[in-house]
Structure 1
Amino acid sequence: MSRLTLDDLLDQLEQARQIAIEERKPTAMIQATATMAKLTGLDKPVIKDVYADSKPVVFNITGLSPEAASQAYQDIMG
């Protein structure tokens, strides 16, 4: 007895889906399609690593005297 392959299962599900289409059974058609997606891994979300190409953030921090900080605050606050 031979083992079923993924291609065999997908072929059988496609046949079942075609029968469901011919017999106008949308629930069966959707189930066959969903099962095919699960077998092929297409039911899982694709998560893109948005940080893969990102460069590190660089902060340039300079010190202020208390007088300069007070003046900057007054300038901002009006």
Structure 2
Amino acid sequence: MRVRPSGLVPKIGKIYVDPKSPAIECQVIDVSASGACLYVQGSAPIPKRFTFLHGSVRKSSRLVWEKGRKIGIQF
């Protein structure tokens, strides 16, 4: 079950492709134990695999679907 972030859940996340590249900022639309729906800022391409930082939690993630700048990821 996905839930919309509320209360103390951060609404902003970051995508890290590799240590040499700048982080890609994103808005967390909803999140579950196994994945999330994000709105990605800017125009940088989204790789198939990356590290997602949400609050203080880092998760190895993969891109599942993409519709414009809105993406679905799986942890």
Verify same fold: TM over 0.5: no
User: Which one has the largest radius of gyration?
Assistant: 1
Where relative contact order (Cα < 8 A, 6+ residues apart) is larger, the structure is 2
TM superposition score category, shorter chain reference: under 0.3
TM-score, L = length of structure 2:
0.18
TM-score, L = length of structure 1:
0.17
- Normalized per residue, the structure richer in strand is 2
